[in-house]
Amino acid sequence: MARAMFEYTKTILNKVSFDATLFCKEVQKALQRLLPYEIEELKIFIESMVQQNPDLDTCLIYLKA
């Protein structure tokens, strides 16, 4: 079940990547819901998204904690 949440989170982040504010909100939600090892995978996923869309870099602050 937890893996399904991770995949769902990636889908949502892809859909809201056009808006940095929405993206940041979804990142915050994901960090509350996902397991620690999934958060590590999410960090890698988000960093690759930021390379494609530099506007999303404001959300990286949530991943540093």
Look up residue 14 and give its two tokens.
């892809």
* pLDDT tens digits, one per residue of 8-18: 999 999 999 99
| Domain boundaries along the sequence of the chain | 2-63
* pLDDT tens digits, one per residue of 15-40: 999 999 999 999 999 999 999 999 99
The predicted structure's pLDDT at residue 3: 85
Helix (H) or strand (E) holding 11: helix 2-15
pLDDT at 1 over 80: no
Q: DSSP string covering 18-55, please?
A: T-HHHHHHHHHHHHHHS-HHHHHHHHHHHHHHHHH-GG
Give dist(CA 16, CA 26) in Å, integer. 8
The predicted structure's pLDDT at residue 65: 61
* pLDDT tens digits, one per residue of 37-63: 999 999 999 999 999 999 999 999 998
